[in-house]
Amino acid sequence: MPSLILRTATPVLMVLLIIVSIYALLRGHDEPGGGFAGGLIIASAFSLHVLAYDAPSTRQLLRVSPQTLMGLGLSTILLSGVIGLVAGGSFLQGVWTTVPVPGLGDVAVGTPVLFDVGVYAAVMGMVLMILLMVAEMNS
C-alpha cells in the first residue's frame, strides 16, 4: 500500500509534470524538447498515479484508452504529412501560416507543431499501454 505522503503529493506533482510536458512539447521544434520528450514527461505523471493508487483508477482518470491515444497520435502525424502534399509540396514538408492571437499579435503555426503533437500523443499512449499492462499483471 502506497504511503499517505505519496498519495497526497501525487495530484500536485501530476499538475506540475503536465505543465512541464506541455512546455517541452511547445518549445521542442526550435530547442530541446518536442513531442517525444513531452510524451515521456506526461506519461511519467500518469506513472506516478499508478504507483500512488492503482491501474484501474488511472485508466478512469485517463478517460481515453492508451490505444486510442496512439491511434490519434499516428493519425495526426499522417495528417501533418498529407498537408504538405495538398499544399503542393512533398510528404511531411513544413507548411506555415500565421494566426492572429489577441495580445500576442500574429503567431506562426505550422505542420511541424502538428507533427510534434502527434508524436506526443503516440508516445504517451505507448508508454501508458505498457505501464498499465504491467501494473495490471502485478495486481
Judge contact between 53 and 65, C-beta under 8 A.
no
| Radius of gyration for the alpha carbons in the chain, expressed in angstroms and rounded | 17
Question: What are the tens digits of pLDDT across the range 111-132?
Answer: 999 999 999 999 999 999 999 9
Mean pLDDT over residues 31-42, rounded? 93
Measured between alpha carbons, how far is 56 from 53 in angstroms, rounded to an integer?
Answer: 9
Split at pLDDT 50, 70, 90, the class of 31 is confident
Q: What is the mean pLDDT of residues 70-86?
A: 96
Sign of CA dihedral 70, 76, 78, 80: negative
In the chain, the amino acid numbered 8 is: T
